[in-house]
Chains A and B, each alone.
Chain A
């Protein structure tokens, strides 16, 4: 681990001015510092900032502070009642100990679990631009089938972000240039030729909170995560669905997939294939095919295509079945 300066932020403005790497729960940052993957010169602890509130927005919807812990958010009454998909996604992630530390902002910005990114002895374009990708010809069972490039196929592993994609969340930031509101859908970048660039945040820009829009009455949501073991493992494939049905007709649906994409994967194709149609397994299957139509398997992860489809079909079934 490289020696670094440590300081505590006293205010949001101070944090933004500090030009250090933000330390929230530390479950990604400290882990990767110990592996020498991240080597910040200065670490700014943002735990003192007053960003740990979950509040109802006046016009409906929810405002979630960047420092709200994953466990607190998952167990928040409003989240459990109105945004089940988010609560379920959070509770499916990591372990209770990690969730007690992990924060909303940190979770959005967590790094990939790619073996080769995490070991400085390997070439990795995300860690060291231009050095090459060790995963493409390596053991790529856990890697992405959607959104990859010749330079990077690492998945974005967050469960929470997948649920937030389906909830059409907005990320609110404060930077040197002032405040911004960025639709989560516009927040992440696919790797292309610059896999080190993972999102649209500018240097020093701080996530202050995330907002969720209100959901129309009768909306149901669900998160399903599939993996080798029952707990404490990243997704091989997951699906988040937020849907409103009237009669058998799907009025509105938002769909995101996890574990398969280089970013939390919102599927407009699948949404289009369903809206205005009946909630039937055949239609779900067609939507799942649409979601995965552009998938490009690597040597060892071809199974994820089918697994993701099944996760989506099941999640659609669960959220549309009449009680």
Chain B
């Protein structure tokens, strides 16, 4: 436990929810002990494109324990979520069972509800569905070419002309396959109605949005829906928005007059609840002989589903990372019979940086220039994506490069391909820049100081495993001096004061000021009570001016005297015989500030691979990440976020790929054995360094977000390292042994 007071901000604090998690006391969605729960198991389509000709439930209905079978033919359609009109968002705008069409493999076409999970699963396998099947569009080449204006278009200067006349050019196309979120806890919801009130026990990155969406699709007043999600077994973006199983649970619970639990099985995690879409990205760089970028052109094609539009904004990062006068960016969408994509950790920037930072490496090689020198030569002193350009709120990327160079030993790098050895293995060193846009939203927080000497902070945000609980306690502790073990934090309940969705690495920056203001408000109430309560040592007799008070170390004291001279704050409350005093605050970013500066985190990532050419084996052996993300509020949680993201990046570069069968749109590797993520054995010792420059633009603590940036440059840095070792440029992720054997690489896109 850190010591209370100022030092607790920035300390390496163990998470306060850790003991509950490791002892199994933490309740995840399906752990909530409700009476009389029935289980819903979905019947998912086994074809990618079809009309449902008939559904025969006669056998299934007669099976033991079966309570109901819901499908489009016997269920009142749900409403669509209002989305942009109401700032709500569902994973997929089409609610389940809206019509008789199958738009993708794994779409829910029925839900069997039974007394037990096993009964429901058994009956679900006996529901007979007949489809009128059409050929699904699964590969990019199956889709009609994109029509109409691009979804994203950006232009500055004259990039066509500048590229045309550039003396040095790179023009390559890069592909990232579909990647699937695989949090440990699969999507799950228990829905329980009490007359017209609905409680949903869910696993989500946003209880407030979840509540809103469910109220919209059910046509129920907002206050009748409550969403509870005290713990989330990770989301990685996949749980930002509610998916069909939540709506089906609510429908089914209404139908059978019992709470109903619905979990998405691992196989449907690959089809039915989002994924990072495939992107095919052409990157053109034009430069002068001495390495000054004169043109960048970034063109992206990305599939979305047949039922919704999801845009993976890959080009934004290209428009801001380097100084370049002439730039165009375009992104087109095509439609495939694959479920709706959704944000995955670092949406847009992570896939966008792969081609940009790969192409920069290719350019450096062509120019015979050090890749860091090339990046410094094109260092963006301001954010040129705006017109006129905006200054950065705080940028220390140069120092990230420098720190990385020193710690990694970059000066010992021989740029010659295959020139560096360790025993029988060839080493490859690569690097890439990383960045993430910093943002902040609105939040309301309530803080209560209790007469038993404890404090409680509450907010309808949630801790998705990142350490949000702990950050709340840290700020309350810093302001009051109450130790962490006497501070209770209550999150993950939509009936609490409105808090942010945990996404975009914005939660910390958003909630910090609200916690601080709410704590101050609660303290002020206590100080006020201290002067107004007979029996309090600070009670101001009639006519006398109240002394100027403060609170520190959990004690109320006269401001210009030491805390020890005062009394424990709870003494004021007990003297007044009240249980507690509350403070509440809502904070929002200042709109006047918003357009003045551009706020981003930055980083530099350095990777080493070892290649054993005799057996074509390539492994990651070192990974250093240097991050400029403002102040780090909790070193332990912060480091954990970065290192976890690097592990994910190793998966992205070396392993991950959802492989679809073009014949029926099934992801063939829809399980944990066949969909490869990094195991511990794939991950070397990881190092993370923060260069800490507080960025007071976002909040008084100077903190930006760190949830995503750690992933941003890993894949290109690794691919650049692989090139350095092997001379092979991998432009289609993930790296495969085929790449270094010169063999045809299975490319199902």
Report A's interface with B, CB cutoff 8 A: 1, 3, 36, 113, 115, 119, 121, 138-139, 141, 224, 226, 228-233, 236, 299-300, 302-303, 306-307, 310-311, 313-314
Residue of A nearest to B663 (CB): A138
CA distance A224 to B744 in the complex (A): 24
Q: Which 4 A-B pairs have the closest CB atoms?
A: A303-B743, A230-B681, A231-B681, A300-B746
B679 engages A139 (CB within 8 Å): no
| Distance in Å: Cβ of A250 to nearest Cβ of chain B | 20
Instruction: Name the residue among B122, B616, B659 with the largest chain A CB count within 10 angstroms.
Output: B616
With a CB–CB cut-off of 8 A, which chain A residues contact B676? 228-229, 233
Residue of B at shortest CB range from A1? B122
CB-nearest residue of chain A to B743: A303
In the complex the two chains form, is A300's CB within 8 Å of B744's CB? Answer: yes
Q: Is the CB of A232 within 8 A of B616?
A: no
Q: A284 to chain B: closest CB distance in Å? A: 11
- Contact status B46-A121, CB under 8 Å: yes
Nearest-neighbour CB distance to chain A for B607, whole angstroms, equals 16
Q: What separation, in Å, do the CA atoms of A310 and B617 have in the docked complex?
A: 10
CB of A229 within 8 A of CB of B679, answer yes
Please name all residues of chain A whose beta carbon is closer than 8 Å to the beta carbon of B678 when the two chains form the complex: 229
Partner-A contacts on B (CB < 8 A)? 46, 121-122, 125, 614-617, 619, 654-655, 659, 661, 663-664, 666, 668-669, 673-674, 676, 678-682, 736-738, 741, 743-744, 746, 748
A141 to B734: give the CA distance in the assembly, Å.
14
Q: Is the pair A229, B654 in contact by a Cβ cutoff of 8 Å?
A: yes
Given A300-B744, A310-B614, answer yes or no on A236-B655 (Cβ-Cβ < 8 Å): no
Cα separation A3 to B661 with both chains bound (whole Å): 31
**Given that A121-B46, A303-B738 are known contacts, is A226 also in contact with B616, CB under 8 Å in the complex?**
yes
CB-defined A-B contacts under 8 Å, sample of 15: A3-B122, A121-B664, A138-B668, A139-B748, A226-B615, A228-B654, A228-B655, A229-B681, A230-B679, A231-B682, A233-B676, A236-B737, A302-B744, A303-B743, A307-B615
Let me know if A139 and B743 touch, CB within 8 A. no
Bound-state CA distance A306–B737 (Å) is: 11
Closest residue of chain A to B746, judged by CB?
Answer: A300
Question: A310–B674 contact, CB under 8 A?
Answer: no
* CA distance in complex: A36, B615 (Å): 38
Q: Which of A3, A224, A306 has the most CB of B within 10 A?
A: A306
Q: List the A residue with the shortest CB-CB distance to B614.
A: A314
A78–B510 CA distance with the chains assembled, in angstroms: 62
A119 to B743, CA, bound (A): 29
CB of B744 within 8 A of CB of A230, answer no
Q: Is the interface of B mostly helix, strand, loop or mixed?
A: loop
Bound CA–CA A141/B654 (angstroms): 16
- The smallest C-beta distance from A25 to any residue of chain B, in angstroms, reads 16
Alpha-carbon gap, A302 to B746, bound state (A): 10
Which residues of A are found within 8 Å of B741, using beta-carbon distances? 303, 306-307
Asked whether A307 lies within 8 Å of B744 as measured between CB atoms, the reply is: no
Smallest CB gap from A303: residue in B: B743
Report the bound CA distance from A302 to B617 in whole Å: 17
Chain A residues positioned under 8 Å from B737 (CB to CB):
226, 228, 236, 303, 307
Task: Decide if B615 touches A310 in the complex (CB within 8 Å).
Answer: yes
Indicate if the CB atoms of A226 and B743 lie closer than 8 Å: no
Q: How distant is the Cα of A115 from the Cα of B661 in the complex, in angstroms?
A: 10
Determine which residue in B121, B617, B663 has the highest number of CB atoms from chain A within 10 A of its CB, and name it.
Answer: B617
**Are B46 and A314 closer than 8 Å at their CB atoms?**
no
A141 and B746 contacting across the interface, CB-CB below 8 Å? yes
Which single residue of chain A is at the shortest CB-CB distance from B748? A139
**A76 vs chain B, min Cβ distance (A):** 23
SS of A interface (majority):
loop
Minimum Cβ distance to chain A for residue B748 (Å): 6
Cβ contacts under 8 Å, A113 to chain B: 673-674
Q: How far is the CA of A229 from the CA of B674 in the complex (A)?
A: 11
Shortest C-beta distance, A300 to chain B (Å), equals 4
CA distance A3 to B119 in the complex (A): 11
Q: Which residues of A contact B122 (CB under 8 A)?
A: 1, 3
- In chain B, what residue has the closest Cβ to A305? B743
Q: A138-B661, A229-B679 are in contact. Are A224 and B125 (CB under 8 A)?
A: no
The smallest beta-carbon distance between B278 and chain A, in angstroms, is: 16
Nearest-neighbour CB distance to chain B for A240, whole angstroms, equals 15
Give the distance in Å from the alpha carbon of A201 to the alpha carbon of B661 in the complex: 34
Contact of A229 among B659, B682, B748 (CB under 8 A): B682
CA distance A115 to B270 in the complex (A): 15
Considering the chains assembled together, what is the distance between the CA atoms of A115 and B619 in angstroms? Answer: 26
Set of chain B residues within 8 Å of A121, measured between Cβ atoms? 46, 664, 666
* Complex contact B615–A311 (CB within 8 A): yes
A281, closest chain B residue (CB):
B614
Collect the chain B residues with CB atoms within 8 Å of residue A224's CB.
615
The answer for the CA separation of A311 and B743 in the assembled complex, in Å, is 16
**A198 smallest CB distance to B (angstroms):** 20
Alpha-carbon gap, A228 to B669, bound state (A): 14
Among A230, A302, A314, point to the contact of B615 (Cβ < 8 A): A314
- A36's nearest neighbour on chain B, judged by CB, is B125
Asked if residues A115 and B615 are in contact (CB atoms below 8 Å), the reply is no
Contact B682 A139 (CB under 8 A): no
Query: Among the listed A139, A231, A233, which residue makes an inter-chain contact with B661, where contact means beta carbons less than 8 Å apart?
Result: A139
Shortest distance from the beta carbon of A136 to any chain B beta carbon, whole Å:
13
Q: How far is the CB of A305 from chain B (nearest CB, A)?
A: 9
Q: Which residue of B lies closest to A227 (CB)?
A: B737
The docked-state distance in angstroms from the alpha carbon of A229 to that of B676 is 8
Chain B: minimal CB distance from A294 (Å): 19
Name the residue on A nearest B676 (C-beta): A229
Contacts known (A119-B666, A303-B738); A229 close to B615, Cβ less than 8 A:
no
Q: Which residues of B contact A115 (CB under 8 A)?
A: 668-669, 674
Which residues from chain B contact A3 at a C-beta distance below 8 Å? 122
- Contact A228 to B748, CB < 8 A, known contacts A115-B674, A138-B661, A314-B615: no
Closest B residue to A34 using CB positions? B121
Q: Which of A138, A229, A307, A311 has the most CB of B within 10 A?
A: A229
Indicate if the CB atoms of B746 and A139 lie closer than 8 Å.
yes
The residue among A121, A231, A232 with the most chain B CB atoms within 10 A of its own CB is: A232
What 13 additional pairs, Cβ within 8 angstroms, besides A303-B741, A307-B615, A307-B737?
Answer: A1-B125, A113-B674, A139-B659, A139-B746, A228-B736, A230-B619, A230-B681, A233-B673, A236-B737, A299-B744, A303-B738, A303-B743, A306-B743
Q: Give the CA-CA distance A313 to B439 in the complex, in Å.
A: 55
Interchain CA distance A226-B619 in the complex, whole Å:
12
Residue of A nearest to B122 (CB): A1
User: Within the assembled complex, what's the spacing in Å between the Cα atoms of A119 and B671?
Assistant: 12
Measured CA separation A228–B666 after assembly (Å): 22
Whole-angstrom distance between the Cβ of A158 and the nearest chain B Cβ:
15
Is the beta-carbon distance between B674 and A232 smaller than 8 angstroms? no
Cα distance A26–B659 in the bound complex, in angstroms:
28
- B617: which A residues are within 8 A, CB to CB? 226
Which residues from A are CB-within-8-Å of B682? 229-231
In the bound complex, CA of A115 to CA of B660 (Å): 11
- Are the CB atoms of A231 and B674 closer together than 8 Å? no
CA distance A235 to B679 in the complex (A): 16
Complex CA distance for A310 and B616, rounded to whole angstroms: 8
Considering the complex, give the chain B residue whose CB is closest to the CB of A98.
B673
Set of chain A residues within 8 Å of B654, measured between Cβ atoms: 228-229
CA distance A61 to B659 in the complex (A): 45
CA distance A225 to B353 in the complex (A): 34
A232 contacts across to B, CB distance below 8 A: 673, 679, 681
Q: How far is the CA of A36 from the CA of B605 in the complex (A)?
A: 46
A236 to B738, CA, bound (A): 11
A306 to B739: give the CA distance in the assembly, Å. Answer: 13
- Write the nearest CB–CB distance from A207 to chain B, whole angstroms: 25
When C-beta atoms are compared, the residue in chain B nearest to A234 turns out to be B673
Q: Which residue of B lies closest to A306 (CB)?
A: B741
Do the beta carbons of B743 and A231 come within 8 Å of each other? Answer: no
**Within 8 Å CB of A119, what residues of B?**
666
Give the residues in chain B near A314, CB-CB below 8 Å.
Answer: 614-615
- For residue A213, give the distance in angstroms from its CB to the closest CB of chain B: 29
Chain A residues near B619 (CB-CB < 8 A): 230
Q: How distant is the Cα of A302 from the Cα of B682 in the complex, in angstroms?
A: 25
Q: How far is the CB of B459 from chain A (nearest CB, A)?
A: 39
